[in-house]
Structure 1
Amino acid sequence: MMDHNSSYALLSKEQLIYTITIPLSTSIILANLAIIWGISCNRELHNTPNYFFLSLLVADMCTGVALPFIPLMGLNRELSLNSCLVAHVFPNFLFLAFLFNLVMVHYERYICIADPLRYNNLWMHRNFPLALFVVWTPPLLYASLPAFGWNNWTGPDWNSCCENAELLLPPSQCSVNGSACCSYRRVFPNAFIYLEVYGIVLPAILTIAGMTGHVLFITRGQLKDICRLHRSLGRGGQASDQEQRLNLRYTRCVVAVSLTFLACWVPYLIYMHISTAFLISDTKWNSTTAIVMSCTGIGSMAVVPLVLGLANRQYTEPAYKLFQKLRDRWRRARESEDTAL
């Protein structure tokens, strides 16, 4: 009876994960494909900055594919050693590659605004293959460390892992050989998790936030210079309509950036710190809450490149024209059917 109830509990948790992640994953994949198609169709966009953004879109699309599997890491399942390593290492690699690509894109655009004279001489522009190597290879190497031996698979007292798991396994299946209780604790040692969270993920997010904040600060200073010049030419002390429009546009930009950070980054930061705190204290927390926070946190972070891409009309124009053509054909078909009736 206990095994049946535990199996049912695990199945319900997996269904909850798929219910949340499948629609979000599908939307992320389709949106990325639309933006990639838009960049590919416009020859004017075939340049190094957009190639970096294409790499980010590919990484984001891969993250969307892996999104349903990332929350599954929090469930204890019956898997062999190789299957357990693949189920944990590969999604982690895609997530880290996405994060590295995101930092690279923000850095490239940050230099374009903060130091435009040095922009065209950036090392990433002179050697694009090296830049791709930097954003894809280190995540692969770090994520693969558990496969090269940095894991807890042969740790002591792993029978308790099966006894306390959502899926209770017979003691004979809790051995190291064959099927075993696959848990993220067996794949990722605590030191590996701490290093990834506080040595890679959190510094990357803070770097992105710092560059974005500095860009807004620079933009604000440039806006003040433009308004000051406009007033000196107009010989008036009052703000003109054009100045008010510029200030309003800047305010909208600040609000959009702030809302994007709150909606896309804060959920993941909350989940990351809470899960790490429970890991340090070695206590269990409500698995349903963990699933919801994991799905929404990682999914919201994967939306960041889509916000950057959908805000550019050049990226979305081909998809928009295709949508208009399909809509016009559908309307003409409906009108012809109504006329025939």
Structure 2
Amino acid sequence: MEEEVELCFPQLLNSSCKKPKRPQLQLVATFMVLSSITLLTTTLNLLVIVSISHFKQLHTPTNLLLLSLAVSDFFVGIFTSFQMLLIDGCWYLGDFMCVVYQYLSYIVTSASIGTMVMISVDRYVAICDPLRYTAKVTYRRVQLSVSVCWIFSTVLQTLLLWRNLERPGRFVSCSGECVVGIDYVSGLLDVLLSFIGPVAVIVLLYLRVFVVAASQARAMRSHVASVTLQGSVTVTVRKSEMKAARTLGVVVVVFLICLCPYFCVTLTGQDALLNPSSVAFVTCLFYFNSCLNPIIYAFLYPWFRKCLRLIVTLQILQPDSSEANVL
């Protein structure tokens, strides 16, 4: 006797998708992981957003980039919750909501990656050309750059998904499926602008940063015997730059570890050949990057820990709390 096939929509016998057979333990584990990622990502990034937006001392060009990153990663966390609807392999919210979900998630993901590129440029100028940093990186220029990043992400994804937006469900083969489709040329353009290009820029800039940091370290060692008061200040500055360089190294490694598997699988079409557990792991790893970003970029800064104490103790509600000294 043949085993009964479970459908996403039993009332639609001829058009419903079949539920993929997955172990119950895997479904529970995936749900728990995605729930944890959603909670951590939204909470941590919301704390960063509140801190930078509220305290006036934090209204700097670099922190504006961190704010943009936190906003995009916050929404990535929100959209991760929709991924939980697909745990059993079925989408129950209809074709229109499917396209809206995919469209918005692509925009915020693209904006998050674009903001990481801008942060790498900011750190590159700060470490490699510190004397002209304040003249090159102004608050107004960063505001413009952030706006362009979000507008570019929106326009790019609108063009790539236009056929899906025009007719939701165009590429759906059965009820309960949530997919979007783009042609080969558009897909190649998306790969270049959303993955290969940003990764290349980030890696090249960080390599240059490490070269500069290494040369500074050699200079520090060669002049350590004749340190004057001015020299000690220079040594302190260079140590700070070295610390920033090491932090950037962590950023690069985490970024590549989280994003590369996902893009490699989706771009080569291997997602159809991998088992569901592998696909779920790659997807969770991709979303987990947005949870790690606030930890890497914000938790390593003392000012964030001060802001966190003020927020948790509700001192942020006091009059003139925005003027508090958090640096």
TM-score, normalised with respect to structure 1: 0.70
Give the letter for the 2:177 counterpart: C
Which one of the candidate residues 178, 187, 191 is aligned to 1:197?
191
Q: Give the whole-Å Cα distance in 2 for the aligned partners of 1:248 and 1:101.
A: 26
Give the letter aligned to residue 134 of structure 1. V
Residues 162-201 of structure 1: pairs in structure 2 closer than 5 A: 174=174, 180=175, 182-184=177-179, 186-201=180-195
Q: Which amino acid aligns with 1:182?
A: E
Greater Cα shift, 224-233 or 87-96: 224-233
Deviation at 1:313, TM superposition (A): 0.4
For the 8 Å contact 1:14–1:72, the answer to whether it is kept is no
2:34 to 21, 36, 43: 21
Pick the aligned partner of 2:282 from 275, 293, 296.
293
Q: CA RMSD in A?
A: 3.8
Whether the aligned pair in 2 keeps the contact of 1:271 and 1:294 (CA below 8 Å) is: yes
1:265 is the counterpart of 2:259: no
Q: How many residues align?
A: 293
Percent identity at matched positions?
16
d(CA) in 2 for partners of 1:113 and 1:143? 33
What secondary structure, in the 3-state scheme, does the structure 1 residue paired with 2:117 have? helix
CA distance in 2, matches of 1:11, 1:69: 21
Structure 2 residue corresponding to 1:36, chosen from 49, 59, 73? 49
The residue number in structure 1 matching 2:15 is none
Rounded to whole Å, the distance in 2 between the matches of 1:88 and 1:18 is 20
What is the match of residue 216 of structure 1? 210
Partner of 2:157: 143
| Match of residue 167 from structure 1 | none
Structure 2 partner of 1:308: 297
Aligned-partner Cα distance in 2 for 1:315–1:276: 37
Cross-structure match for 1:96: 110
Q: Residue 55 and residue 253 in structure 1: after superposition, are their counterparts in 2 closer, same or farther (change >3 A)?
A: closer
User: Which residue, out of 49, 57, 61, partners 1:48?
Assistant: 61
Q: Which has the larger radius of gyration?
A: 1
User: In structure 2, do the counterparts of structure 1 residues 146 and 205 end up closer, same or farther at CA, with 3 Å as the change threshold?
Assistant: closer
Note if contact 1:104-1:135 (Cα within 8 Å) is conserved in structure 2.
no
Distance, in Å, in 2 between the alignment partners of 1:252 and 1:146 is 40
What is the distance in 2 between the residues matched to 1:79 and 1:324?
40
User: Which amino acid in structure 1 is aligned with residue 276 of structure 2?
Assistant: S
Q: d(CA) in 2 for partners of 1:54 and 1:233?
A: 39
**Is there any run of 5+ residues in structure 2 with no aligned partner, and where?**
9-17, 229-234, 316-327
What amino acid is the match of 2:295? L
What's the TM-score once normalised by structure 2's chain length?
A: 0.73
Aligned partner of 2:324 in structure 1 is: none
Alignment CA distance shift 1:322-1:307 (3 Å): same
* Correspondence 1:68 to 2:71: no
